[in-house]
Amino acid sequence: MQRKLTVVLSIVIILAVAFLAMSYFSSQKETPETAIPEEVVRKVKTLPVNYEQVSYIISSTGRLGSQSYIDIISEVQGEILPGNVPMKKGQRFRKGELLIRIYDEITDYNLKASKSRFQNSIANILPDFKIDYPEDYQMIKDFFDAVKINDPLPELPEITSDQQRIFLASRNILNDYFNIKSSEIQLGKHSIYAPFNGTFTDVMLEVGSIANPGSRLAKIINTGMLELEVPINVNDVKWISKGDKVIANAEDGSGEWTGTVVRKADYVDRNTQSVSVFISVQNNSENPLYEGQYLRASFDGEITGNAMEIPRRAVFNNNMVYVVNDNILRKAEINILRINQESMIFNGLEEGEYVVVEPLVNVVEGSVVETY
């Protein structure tokens, strides 16, 4: 028992001596000096603020449509007869070609009969006119000679006196004349000619059908001049004007055409917050365009003076940038004129200031920086 106690005491004494020795030697060791870290000056990319005229591209996709859509409606009655081109959907035609003819022989014969009666009426008044108004007899005689059964009536001679006007009216000359002119117009409605180069997009009544006044016969479009409607952001439309030149490209890159802005809407689409701009595009046979085709239009925008362009990623919190004055970093607010896909056009800073043109992370306003 005494031996165990002696062993334990020996161990305790040895540990105590070792601890005291370690403490002594530790106190004799010199404390190393703490190194003070050097301040790191961050480098930032800047540009001097310099306002000038800034050009950019406004781009949007739209759908081609014809400048003219016409419903052909019959104003007369009769059987539909063939014209110079087949009356079929998709059929092309040239300006001036006879598209549709409606049976007109009865109307034509009635018109010729009216002209014959009119000639007889003038022939009956010629002797009286020669006696009462000899100075104007030759004028009426020349008019009588010019009236032809198969030709349109010539212009009525100018009546210079009330007596002559009363004389002609009492013989129904004026009434017959204007009735015949009206019948000539009515006869012309039996033949429908193409007002432009185009195509049939729909046919309601086929050849051989009976047309009545008000019947819809067909629908045609002008394929010579097409119109591209593109939606433009309400903030960009102010930079586009009537008469501006436009480059239009096919979506698949297969062609390029030039166009001209012909008008722009004066209202905003409530769903898209865009304004429709209409571009006239000339069609051609070498590189044809088609109604309904989609094209991308590119406009040359331009902000005149007092503007500068910087990368979009240099702007934070919508309209804030960093500027550097005397190597000190600070925040500044800008006035954004236009937002592009990769850049922003702005003003609102003093010329000569240096604006940071790269995104900064983990920076503090008031930091000392070095520009490059």
Report pLDDT digits (tens) over 314-329: 999 989 999 999 899 9
Q: What is the fold of 58-65+223-301?
A: Elongation Factor Tu (Ef-tu); domain 3 (2.40.30)
Q: Does residue 171 contact residue 189 with C-beta atoms inside 8 Å?
A: no
Selection from 9, 1, 63 nearest residue 297 by Cα: 63
Selection from 117, 114, 140 nearest residue 127 by Cα: 140
Q: Does residue 306 contact residue 350 with C-beta atoms inside 8 Å?
A: no
β-strand pairing of 52-66 with 46-48:
unpaired
- Backbone φ and ψ for 90, nearest 5 degrees, come out as 90, -5
pLDDT band at 67 (very low <50, low <70, confident <90, very high): confident
CA dihedral 265, 259, 196, 211 (to 10 degrees): -40
State the distance between the two ends of the chain, measured CA to CA, in whole angstroms.
Answer: 85
As a whole number, mean pLDDT of residues 285-299 equals 86
71: helix, coil or strand? strand
User: What is Dmax (Cα atoms) for the chain?
Assistant: 181
Q: Does residue 215 contact residue 203 with C-beta atoms inside 8 Å?
A: no
For residue 340, the model assigns a pLDDT of 81
pLDDT band at 68 (very low <50, low <70, confident <90, very high): confident
Q: Please state which of the ranges 69-83, 102-116, 129-143 shows the lowest mean pLDDT.
A: 129-143
% of the chain surpassing 70 pLDDT: 89
Q: Is the pLDDT of residue 38 over 60?
A: no
Q: Mind listing the pLDDT tens digit for each residue in 331-368?
A: 999 998 888 878 889 999 999 899 999 998 888 888 89
Both tokens of 14, joined, read: 């040895």
Residue limits of CATH 2.40.420 in the chain: 44-56+304-371
For residue 302, the model assigns a pLDDT of 73
Q: Is the pLDDT of residue 30 over 80?
A: no
Query: What does the angle CA 154 – CA 157 – CA 163 come to, to the nearest 5 degrees?
Result: 145
For residue 15, the model assigns a pLDDT of 64
Q: Is the pLDDT of residue 155 over 70?
A: yes
Residue limits of CATH 2.40.30.170 in the chain: 58-65+223-301
As a whole number, mean pLDDT of residues 154-170 equals 85
Whether the model clears a pTM of 0.85, i.e. scores above it, the answer is no
Q: Is the pLDDT of residue 93 over 70?
A: yes
Q: What is the CATH number of domain 44-56+304-371?
A: 2.40.420
